[in-house]
Structure 1
Amino acid sequence: MNSRRTTVRDVRRTNRSALLSRLFLDGPVSRLELSRLTGLSAGTVSNVTGELIDEGVVVEAGLVESDGGRPRVLLRVDPAYGYVIGVDVGPTRVRTELFDLSMRALATVDRPVGAGDPDPGTVAALVAAGVREAVAGADVAAERVLGVGIGVFGTVERGRLALVHAPTVGWDAVPLEALIRAGTDLPLFIDNGAKTLGQAEMWFGAGRGARHAVFALVGSGVGAAIVTDGTTYQGTSSSAGEWGHTAIVYGGRPCRCGGRGCLEAYVGAQSLLDRYGAELPGDEEARLAALIDAADRSAAADRLLDETAGYLGVGIANLVNLFNPERIVLGGWAGLALGTRLLPRIREVAAAQALAHPFSEAAIELSRLGPDAVAMGAATLPIAELVARGGSRPPVQASSR
């Protein structure tokens, strides 16, 4: 039992956090609207927003007409109060983006990881270098950066320093945070890439307004973020959402995880290209695009894509039956490429396989944030920390250099 008493400081931080959350997600809004959205009194809203304006966190953003009387002043989080960086760490590339607090991208750095299973040291070096290049490219002072969010493949084990487990590429308890921290002093926030995609879509994209949703990420591998009652489900050790490693064919194709018949072994980009067999030029993204394009001329490619739509439909039906979401969002670079062509067929198969009533309550749609959703979601991790702290900047973390 927690016997700690709530202090005035606790209440103040909670109020600041509640107001900042609404300003960030719904701004610009008036003080009257903030009172309605948060349930805080008009006096509390006025006092707290006055503090936040004095500290430079919040700024006035114009006027809106009221129903009689003077126009109301609109407030918003100051986009220039600080900057955040989001990193999308995939098995084949590292994409780094720097945003202001309006989530406008100011700099982007994209670097390939190289062929074969990614080396942890190489990935960490690419992340640290991408952060430095993004800061320089945006021409902002490093001390103005609130933190670096990193969305990574595999399971993120939280502790004093985050460890990454990704058996599909041979990573077992890789100390990725410590490796990256050797190259940067900025605060680091690390989570699974499907979960950062889900957070971005919940805040800004196809998940807005939903309380129960599943966000499916299909790239080289396959994962998902499960949001229930507005909160991302983590599980005992943060590995919840490994949708790609749920079996859909008993004794089926071997999967990179060591199992057989996993969904990823049929719909992941790497597995899909392996199933096609024909040589295609370019990197993985270019080859998948060529395969999709070939379906208009090749019966074999068309048949393969129809099978893939079937497997995705079955996988989505399983999500419907297990979690009863109101929304399922298909994203990731491969998910978007496949979904743009196959979504009607995916919905058709899902409808045939899912229980009728929960399926009737679930909308199935594509990500609205495109291939940048993982990096954007990762960038919201330091923002979530800023909001939780009531607008106070996080302390600078010591580098191990």
Structure 2
Amino acid sequence: MNFQSTRRNFLGGTAALAAGAALSVPAFAQAKPITLRVLTSTPKELYDNLGADFMAKRPDIRIVVDTPSPDYDDLTLRIFRAAITGDAPDVAFQGFNRINLVAQRGLAVPLNTLIDADGGLASLGYQTSLLDMTKVADKSYGLPFAISSPTLFYNLDLVEKAGGNPDRLPSDWPAIIELGKKIKVLGNGIMGLHYAYIGHSGAWTWMALIMSQGGSILTADERDVAFNGPEGLWALEMFRQFGEAGQIEMSLDQTRQAFSGGTIGILGTANSYLRSAEKAAAGHFSVRTASLPMKPNGKLPTGGNAAMILTKDPVRQKAAWDFVKFMTGPEAQTKLVNTTGYIPANSIAVNTPELLGKFFAENPNAMTGVQQLPTLGGWPGFPGENAIKITDLIRNHIQSVVTLRREPKAVLGDMVKEVRAMLPKA
């Protein structure tokens, strides 16, 4: 599934579509509202706030957001466990790379009938390229909610103190790593460079390195690995260099807290961290974002999630459908962008001046994500029962390289062998 949208297409279209996307509010006669349980990843407050906005428009539907999962892998396992115990949520905001696992187990509802009953989705601002990322066997299983991309965050004050030029940040990895080393020399507990891989589910940032060089994770038929070539070795060699530059083992939360506290010079993570980073840095230091260095034929895996309906009850499905349409519609998407760093999945929000029409022009850091749109491709998900075990295995191998315990070439050989053994047999 390829995401071939361009910035021009994304920002094109007409704001007049917004009128057709407004949530209709019928006369409600129900004495007791329908309660929908919703499973999400963090940040919970985002989903709570948007749920409250929806309930204000639809008092006949009550939204209860469960305790969030720290990542999409944990969220997937919770769905699997809930299916066994008969306690599945009604709606789940699932990572793009795990949609296939949930759909193939029959735990999600195909949305084709609901989409057709609404006359299609084109007029509501949904892009075909994004909708394609939620399809499994030509059936749609979700509406895209949030798009994220791998992004570099720079503390410009530390860059300048280390002798770098904040207006001319490095554009290739050797220069980025060299700048990170210079920042580390500043001392006082300052870390130069951290490329986060712990906490990002699905081995997302590892995949980003490989795909940015034109490499692939799986063969076209998804039956074998494709990262056993030079791009896969290069990615592990990069992790080795990150370790040599002083990267230490920290959770994703610890890493982001350190950057927000002004003690990391360069951080590689998801652009969804943007608003938190800028808010924490305000009055203390300046933040700038940049895309990962890429080859001309490179791609980046599209992170983020789509809203999936899990309830099998027809009445609850209709309520859930109205909820996920709201969450992926212009109003909710505007709040999403203003409170996070996600790229909106609904073009009407971007095309409408009073929503996000002026936002991106006034927020250059947020524009980094939009400018990455032409480079975004599918987020590969390993097939079969061992999908999550495979990405855990890959993370452990990466850890052995970052901590300088093993050499990249040896690790790649073991990684390829072990992942192949865990893939479904033909």
TM-score (norm 2): 0.24
Greater relative contact order: 1 or 2 (C-alpha under 8 angstroms, separation 6 or more)? 2
TM-score (norm 1): 0.25
Larger Rg, first or second structure (1 or 2):
1
- In terms of fraction of residues, the more helix-rich structure is 2
